[in-house]
């Protein structure tokens, strides 16, 4: 049962990844370039880390191998690091929105 749910999650992530790649390729061919929003990436990283820790605790309590949550935790840490490394870009993004 756990193997099936992990397989379904991996397939969904792969499909989402392909859809995003197609959308980005279409934008690039149309000449519309969008810069990365590093503030959102940092917030997303914090959220993913918190959710993954909660999931690992819940899995541990249910006596299911809690290491299933480690890839999600690693993804959150990666997003958090990328967002924090590019912290100087946060103010530039605000200037674009404010005017």
To the nearest whole percent, how much of the chain has pLDDT over 90?
10
- Reported as a single tens digit per residue, the pLDDT across 49-87 is 998 898 888 888 888 887 778 888 888 899 899 889 988
Tell me which residue of 9, 87, 10 sits closest to 41, measured CA to CA. 87
> C-alpha distances in angstroms, 70 versus 39, 80, 92, 97?
23, 15, 33, 36
Lookup: tokens for 40: 């959102």
Q: Where are the domains of the chain?
A: 1-34, 36-99
Q: What's the pLDDT at 80?
A: 92
Q: What's the pLDDT at 31?
A: 74
Structural contact between residues 37 and 92, judged by C-beta atoms closer than 8 angstroms:
no
| Greater model confidence, 5 or 44 | 44
Structural contact between residues 41 and 79, judged by C-beta atoms closer than 8 angstroms:
yes
Q: What's the pLDDT at 3?
A: 58
- Reported as a single tens digit per residue, the pLDDT across 28-40 is 787 766 667 788 8
Give 40's contacts (C-beta < 8 A, 6+ positions apart): 83
What pTM was estimated for this model as a whole?
0.62
């Amino acid at each position: 049962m756990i193997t099936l749910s992990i397989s379904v999650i991996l397939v969904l992530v792969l499909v989402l990844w392909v859809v995003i790649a197609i959308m980005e390729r279409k934008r690039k061919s149309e000449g519309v370039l969008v810069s990365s929003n590093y503030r959102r990436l940092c917030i997303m990283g914090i959220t993913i880390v918190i959710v993954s820790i909660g999931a690992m605790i819940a899995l541990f309590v249910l006596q299911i191998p809690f290491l299933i949550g480690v890839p999600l935790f690693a993804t959150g840490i990666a997003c958090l690091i990328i967002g924090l490394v590019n912290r100087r870009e946060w103010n530039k993004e605000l200037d674009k929105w404010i005017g």
